[in-house]
Amino acid sequence: DMKVTQMPRYLIKRMGENVLLECGQDMSHETMYWYRQDPGLGLQLIYISYDVDSNSEGDIPKGYRVSRKKREHFSLILDSAKTNQTSVYFCASSYGQGDTLYFGAGTRLSVL
Amino acid sequence: GDQVEQSPSALSLHEGTGSALRCNFTTTMRAVQWFRKNSRGSLINLFYLASGTKENGRLKSAFDSKERYSTLHIRDAQLEDSGTYFCAASHQGGRALIFGTGTTVSVSP
């Protein structure tokens, strides 16, 4: 069953707290992505991972870091969350470069 | 600068009518994908094109790499077609998709 699972779906945090967003996929895809989506800005790439411990910055990496210790899991970490990181975060995976992306349902994060 | 320019940003349709969404690219892209965001916020794959056209039901998409554009046509629009549509394209040798800013489609009776 081809699936990208994100946890949690909704999260409320206070400014300065740490945030961990988890993503898993069951398709053995090598490449995984974290995006955020804000009104009027579309989807913006935060980080991309080509395989275990092979991660690269996307367009807006500042304030975020990632971890990929297993091919099927890709985590997004916010150390000391800021209010401007309130957004909807999408995880995605693909077989390889430029191939079809499969998205999770998204995590709605509110930083108060 | 922006590499994927999507238009219009919003589109209102009456049931049974049709229209087109367009994405222009500022550079040569290898392939394009079209997505629709559903009511739960998930992104649904609609089309993946490396060239030419594809049709699925009332949706039809075209991609011209040389002319640097892609279109998504909706015909005989239905209420369930409402939602936000995104195009996304990948460079030659690119590592990820570059997204347009989306088109919000509203279909009314």
pLDDT at B94 over 60: no
Q: What is the largest CA-CA distance in chain A?
A: 38
For residue B96, what pLDDT is reported? Answer: 62
Instruction: For A4, list phi and psi in degrees, rounded to 5.
Output: -115, 120
Number of domains in chain B: 1
- Write the residue in B94, B101, B102 that is nearest to A97 by C-beta: B94
For residue B2, what pLDDT is reported? Answer: 64
For residue A26, what pLDDT is reported? Answer: 92
DSSP string of chain A?
---EEEE-SEEEE-TT--EEEEEEESS--SEEEEEEEETTTEEEEEEEEEETTEEEE-S--TT-EEEEEETTEEEEEESS--GGG-EEEEEEEESSTTPPPEE---EEEEE-
Q: Do residue B33 and residue A103 have CB atoms under 8 angstroms apart?
A: no
Side-chain half-sphere exposure of B31, counting CA atoms within 13 A: 17
Chain A hits for B43, Cβ within 8 Å: 90, 92, 101, 103
Rounded mean pLDDT of chain A?
90
Chain A hits for B1, Cβ within 8 Å: none
Distance from CA of A99 to the nearest CA of B (A): 8
Q: Which of residues 1-20 of B touch A (CB under 8 A)?
A: 6
pLDDT at B5 over 60: yes
Q: Round to whole Å and give the CA distance between A16 and B59.
A: 46
- Write the residue in B40, B90, B91 that is nearest to A105 by C-beta: B40
Q: Are B106 and B14 in contact (CB under 8 A)?
A: no
Q: How many residues does chain A have?
A: 112
For residue B14, what pLDDT is reported? Answer: 97
Say yes or no: A47 contacts chain B, CB-CB below 8 A.
no
Q: How far is CA A98 from CA A31, A79, B58, B96, B104, in A?
A: 10, 30, 26, 5, 25
Weakest-pLDDT range from B34-38, B50-54, B57-61: B34-38
Tell me the CATH number at B103: 2.60.40.10
Q: Do residue B31 and residue A106 have CB atoms under 8 angstroms apart?
A: no
For residue B95, what pLDDT is reported? Answer: 53
Q: How confident is the model at residue A57 (pLDDT cuts 50, 70, 90)?
A: confident
- Write the residue in A41, A101, A104 that is nearest to B101 by C-beta: A41
Residue span of the structural domain in which B24 resides: 4-108
Say yes or no: A11 contacts chain B, CB-CB below 8 A.
no
User: Average pLDDT, stretch B83-89?
Assistant: 92
Q: In 10 A of CB B96, how many CB atoms?
A: 22
Q: How confident is the model at residue B38 (pLDDT cuts 50, 70, 90)?
A: low
For residue B39, what pLDDT is reported? Answer: 65
